[in-house]
Amino acid sequence: MIETASAAQSGPSATVMGMNNFDPGRMLAFDLETTGTDPRTCRIVTSALVRLADGAKDSRIMLADPGIEIPEAAAAVHGITTEKARAEGRPHDEVLADTIAGLRAAWADGLAVVAYNAAYDLTVLLSQDPSFTIDGLVVDPFVLDQHYDQFRKGKRTLTDVAQHYRVRLDAAHDATEDALAAARVAWMMARQYPEMTQLPGEELMELQAVTYYERRKSLQQYLSGLGKDTSDMTFGWPTDA
């Protein structure tokens, strides 16, 4: 297990010392929509930062011009075409910088950043800005659901998991709605699994890193058994670079 935990925590600032426990009443829900599926090469199209703290909600939604063509397959998922992004979006690097600044501000205020499949979104940021670091608690309902309910059958997409926990997801693949749904799932999970709020933040981060690593290794073994190439798989959380 020591070897597994060490491997799982590779990446920038995988565990930040002295962070707060998870408080479901103080979250920054975060989601990106991008130009593709590879977080190491894709660029931001929309960024949603929804601060849910002390009974108040503050949303910041940013549309970026990624500076490249948005593939038709990506536009079909999130609804943002190249033409729309060029006409209405801000420069990509401005949106990237403002997104990172928003995350850092939330961590400085003691909020948990909640992101579904956080290794994707945070790796996008790291790939576009190598100076990006994880400066506080990250809560990933995708990983925690796999940990606490590992034997449940079925898919683990945000849509499926939202249905399982009976929370709203008004428009899948809209960055704001995905961010809010992830926060709702995290809130419901904290009620169902109170250990999430009782664990010190450092331990919750380690639990997620190890869970992610172990599930990815299991998937690698399964795919290898089918004769598929898994040489490009990565295993780090909260960044997978």
Provide the pLDDT confidence category of residue 241 given band limits of 50, 70 and 90. Answer: low
For 115-153, the three-class secondary structure string (H helix, E strand, C coil) is CCCHHHHHHHHHHHCCCCCCCCCEECHHHHHHHHCCCCC
pLDDT tens column, 16-45: 556 899 999 999 999 999 999 999 999 999
* Cα gap 240→176, rounded to integer Å: 23
Examine the pLDDT at 151 and tell me if it is beyond 90: yes
* Cα gap 76→69, rounded to integer Å: 13
CA 145 to chain centre: 13
pLDDT tens column, 79-107: 999 999 999 999 999 999 999 999 999 99
* Cα gap 152→159, rounded to integer Å: 15
Examine the pLDDT at 14 and tell me if it is beyond 60: no
* Cα gap 209→128, rounded to integer Å: 22
Q: Residue 73: which residues within 8 A CB-CB, separation 6 or more? A: none
| pLDDT attached to residue 170 | 87
Tell me the β-bridge partners of 30: 49
pLDDT tens column, 155-209: 999 999 999 999 999 888 899 999 999 999 999 999 999 999 999 999 999 999 9
What pTM does this model have? Answer: 0.91
Cβ distance 217 to 230 under 8 Å? no
Quote the tokens at residue 4. Answer: 């597994």
| pLDDT attached to residue 5 | 36
| pLDDT attached to residue 15 | 43
Provide the pLDDT confidence category of residue 47 given band limits of 50, 70 and 90. Answer: very high
| pLDDT attached to residue 234 | 87
